[in-house]
């Protein structure tokens, strides 16, 4: 069976992944999604490739996905949500990936805002690109990269020590189509909950899976390194950090802080 057919066979969704645009090779599924969105693509459209050649990460970084080994896909959402819950969407996407991975009985954790970790190493990342009209989030492209069947030596040397894959952790190959379908199944449930006003369960589930809750973290804020206790997540999805040097409590968005690391 083809990649897309196996994904479809395992979907339990009404909206997400019901339209699939598959590319054997593409620069970035997020860029492709943006073009399709501008051409009027439906909500839920899944953009999927087997070989992403110029994957984009957060804060202008690049993203490596092993050709034929990892998962690189984007989903078009049209939340039409205003206010606080909109900020929680990015957390819901990371959470959906951890939900999928836990079906393999692996313990996966989240690092602010949505790095997916296994054994403390990065195994997945999310790039959420949103559009607003006024304070209404009209569209969002949820770009998801998951390391699935890469071996350690297949990762670029620069990230080898801080990166892992599902296959490395479970010590056997994993079926990519299943992980993708499980991620969309979970995301659809969590997204529906969020749209109906339930941000709290996403926030508490996120906090339960956070690798550094209550711990001291270093982070980059306004171009400077700072230290604080990561206390949790506010109702709008922002990080609550108790800054150590002047004992102030900050609530910061993922655009305002970078490089959150447990120390
Ligand atoms: C990060 O952790 O910096 C986010 C990485 C996001 C990577 C995914 S792979 C599919 C989608 N297309 C991209 O170009 N980026 C995202």
User: Sorting pLDDT into bands at 50, 70 and 90, what band is 177?
Assistant: very high
pLDDT tens across 40-98, in order?
A: 999 999 999 999 999 999 988 999 988 999 999 999 999 999 877 778 999 999 999 99
Between CA 88 and CA 239 the distance in angstroms is: 11
pLDDT at residue number 84: 74
Q: How far is CA 224 from the centre of its chain?
A: 25
DSSP state of 161: G
Measure the CA–CA gap between 36 and 88, rounded to whole angstroms: 24
**Mean per-residue pLDDT over the chain, rounded:** 95
**Closest of 108, 112, 146, 144 to residue 128, by C-alpha:** 144
User: pLDDT > 90: what percent of the chain?
Assistant: 90
Q: Indicate which residue's Cα is closest to atom 7 of ligand 1.
A: 145
Q: What is the dihedral of CA 180, 30, 91, 173, to 10 degrees?
A: 30
Q: Categorize the per-residue pLDDT at 246 as very low, low, confident or very high, splitting at 50, 70 and 90.
A: confident
Atom of ligand 1 nearest to the CA of 27: 14
Task: Locate 25 and state its tokens.
Answer: 């090779």
Helix axes 176-195, 200-209, angle to 10 degrees: 140
What does 38-85 look like in DSSP terms, one character per residue? HTTPPTT-EEEES-BSSEE-GGG-EE---TTTSEEEEEEE---EESGG
pTM for this one? Answer: 0.96
Pocket residues for ligand 1 (CB within 6 Å)? 28-30, 52, 55-58, 61, 63, 65, 72-74, 115, 125-127, 143-145
How many Å lie between the centroid of ligand 1 and the Cα of residue 96? 15
Instruction: Give me ligand 1 centre to Cα 3, in Å.
Output: 20
Neighbour count for residue 263 (Cβ, 10 Å) = 9
Q: How far apart are CA 105 and CA 62, in angstroms?
A: 29
Give the pLDDT score at 1: 62
Taking residues 21-50, what's their average pLDDT? Answer: 97
pLDDT at 5: 96
Block residue for tokens 């982070």? 219
pLDDT digits (tens, 9 = 90+) for 138-157: 999 999 999 999 999 999 99
Q: Whose CA is nearest to atom 16 of ligand 1?
A: 143
Residue 237 banded pLDDT, cuts 50, 70, 90: very high
Report d(CA 248, CA 243) in Å as an integer. 5
Of 231, 188, 210, give the one whose Cα is nearest residue 89. Answer: 188
% residues pLDDT > 70 (the chain): 100
Supply the pLDDT for residue 87. 81
């Amino acid at each position: 069976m083809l990649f897309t057919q196996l994904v479809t066979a395992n979907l339990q969704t009404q909206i997400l992944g019901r339209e699939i645009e598959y590319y054997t090779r593409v620069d970035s599924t997020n860029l492709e999604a943006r073009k399709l969105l501008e051409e009027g693509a439906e909500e839920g459209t899944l953009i999927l490739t087997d070989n992403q050649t110029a994957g984009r990460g957060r804060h202008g970084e690049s993203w490596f996905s092993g050709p034929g080994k990892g998962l690189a896909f984007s989903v078009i959402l049209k939340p039409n949500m205003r206010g606080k819950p909109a900020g929680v969407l990015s957390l819901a996407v990371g959470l959906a990936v951890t939900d999928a991975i836990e079906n393999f009985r692996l313990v996966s954790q989240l690092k602010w805002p949505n790095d997916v970790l296994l054994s403390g190493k990065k195994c997945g990342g999310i790039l959420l690109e949103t559009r607003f009209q006024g304070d209404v989030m009209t569209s969002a492209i949820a770009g998801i990269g998951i390391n699935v069947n890469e071996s350690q030596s297949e990762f670029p040397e620069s990230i080898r020590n801080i990166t892992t894959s599902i296959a490395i952790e479970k010590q056997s190959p994993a079926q990519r189509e299943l992980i993708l379908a499980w991620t969309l199944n979970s995301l659809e449930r969590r997204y529906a909950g969020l749209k109906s006003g339930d941000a709290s369960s996403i926030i508490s589930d996120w906090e339960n899976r956070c690798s550094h809750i209550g711990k001291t973290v270093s982070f980059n804020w306004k171009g400077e390194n700072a230290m604080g206790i990561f206390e949790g997540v506010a109702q709008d999805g922002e990080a609550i950090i108790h800054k150590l040097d002047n004992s102030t409590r900050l609530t910061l968005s993922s655009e305002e802080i970078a490089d959150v690391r447990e120390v």
